[in-house]
Amino acid sequence: MSKILFVSDIDNTLIHSFKHKRDGDVCIEWKGDFEQAFMSEKAFIMLRDLKVDVLLVSSRSTELYRRLKLPCNAKYALVSNGSLLIENDVINDCWKAESEKIVSGYKSVLIKLLNEFADNEHIKSARLVDDMYLFLHCREKDDVQFIFEAVKRKTKLPVMTSGRKIYVVPEEFSKGRSVLRVLDFCNTKYDKVICAGDSKVDASMLSVCDVALVPDENLANMVKNKNILVCNKADFSEFVLEVVSEYVNGERP
């Protein structure tokens, strides 16, 4: 039997926000008493019953990741866009020390950008996530391109957008590099790595896997991979988990 690794983004890939809640959805994240994020019941059951190694990869901070109650036993999770590795629910100190060494060369630039844009009238919130990368949340969708271009003029660091969110992330913390880094770190050989993601922030990791699962042709066109499967269902998470299950069960080559 092939040894498979399922690598997945979390938000809008496996889960969706309360804004898109449907009847029968299962809550998997709370902010205090408020129900924050959900999965369809079908996706919840499929993820719970999936017999495969799982690596979760998220731009979420450690704190926000730990709010999740996902129904899978993922030994490893990459958070803060891969700059931190959670192993058996504990931050790996060796990984963190290496990331701190990497980010030290960019810290002054990140802090300068934070100070410059934090009080911008178009910015709803701004912060250094786990002290590793800069996150800007624009007030309106129409503000994103303006802020994106303004940030790009100020730094040579990679700048990415997703919805109303802007990320300034050292290249070493791209999701693609981080996935390759964790594969080397874990020293485990897999016959196939299947990766799912929903935005351009995920493009780098979708490009380094054997099979890339994406929600639409727009993202497919950003991914450098010969084996891309585009969602053909209304629910992306259900499509992803069905495809992974088919590979695990030997129904796909």
Rounded average pLDDT over 33-55: 97
For residues 33 and 45, membership in a common domain is answered with yes
- For the chain, what is the domain count? 2
Same domain, 11 and 114: no
- Res. 5 pLDDT band, cuts 50 70 90: very high
Q: Quick one: 122 and 158 in the same domain?
A: yes
- Quick check: 183 pLDDT over 80? yes
In a domain, 129, yes or no: yes
- Domain, as residue range, for 73: 4-92+173-248
Q: Which helix (H) or strand (E) holds 128?
A: strand 123-129
Across 2-10, average pLDDT: 95
Question: Could you tell me if residue 99 is inside a domain?
Answer: no
Examine the domain organization and report whether 64 and 164 are in the same domain: no
Instruction: Assess whether pLDDT exceeds 80 at residue 1.
Output: no
pLDDT at 193 > cutoff 90:
yes
Q: Give the tokens for residue 34.
A: 């408020």
In a domain, 100, yes or no: no
183 and 132 in a common domain: no
pLDDT of res. 17: 97
- Kindly provide the b/e burial profile for residues 66-103, where b requires at least 16 CB atoms within 10 angstroms of the residue's own CB: eebebbbebebbbbbbbbbbbbeeeebeebbebbeeeb
Q: Confidence band (pLDDT; 50, 70, 90) for 188?
A: confident
